[in-house]
Amino acid sequence: MDFTRLSNAIDFAARVHQNQTRKGPNPGPYIYHPIFVAMCLVHYQYDEDVVIAGLLHDTVEDGGVAPDDIEQQFGQRVRQLVEAVTEVKDPSMSREEKQRTWLTRKERFLEKLKDASVGARAISAFDLLHNALELTALISSEGASASQHFNAPLDRKIWFARQEIELFRSDAGKPHATIVADLLERLLAELEKLP
């Protein structure tokens, strides 16, 4: 692993997300999320480009970074991995429009993920895992009022997660195909039991 390149990716992601926080009543710095994803990818021994793309996976979608900037600094493969897990959003879209178009956007993303590389699906799996962990904690502390923080009801979010899990399971022999998919299923079962 090229630690200089990794350090540059951490610095890049930290600068992009420096003024952002995660959703919820006690929002922490946004950078916790891509670092969690990257740590999981390191733990399960994904290659350097996949780890760096994990750090940068939200810089285009939530940080407004141009994919060309990622390619210039980190190479074509990192750019391709980030683009594969990026949901194209219209920044001018209102919250109501986001809610209305949620299902269409998610169906498009699932189609895109079907054609993505194993590395991209690993990034998506650990992204989903962290989101599910945060969502479980949020609903446990806030109850039904937690839904105010999101653009879709809980049952739709669970449906979407299950669709992603089925895609992850197609990558037989990879950690995200079994370990993460099983853990996600347990988290989703917990979420369904919450009020």
CA 127 to chain centre: 3
Task: Give the position of tokens 């269409």.
Answer: 104
Catalytic residue among 11, 47, 61, 190: 61
Catalytic residue among 2, 48, 58, 62: 62
CA dihedral 164, 165, 170, 175 (to 10 degrees): 120
Half-sphere exposure of 80 (CA within 13 A, CB side): 9
Q: How far apart are CA 112 and CA 25, in angstroms?
A: 32
Active site residue 96: no
Active site residue 62: yes
Burial of residue 26 (number of CB atoms within 10 Å: 0-12, 13-18, 19+): exposed
Which residues belong to the active site?
A: 61-62
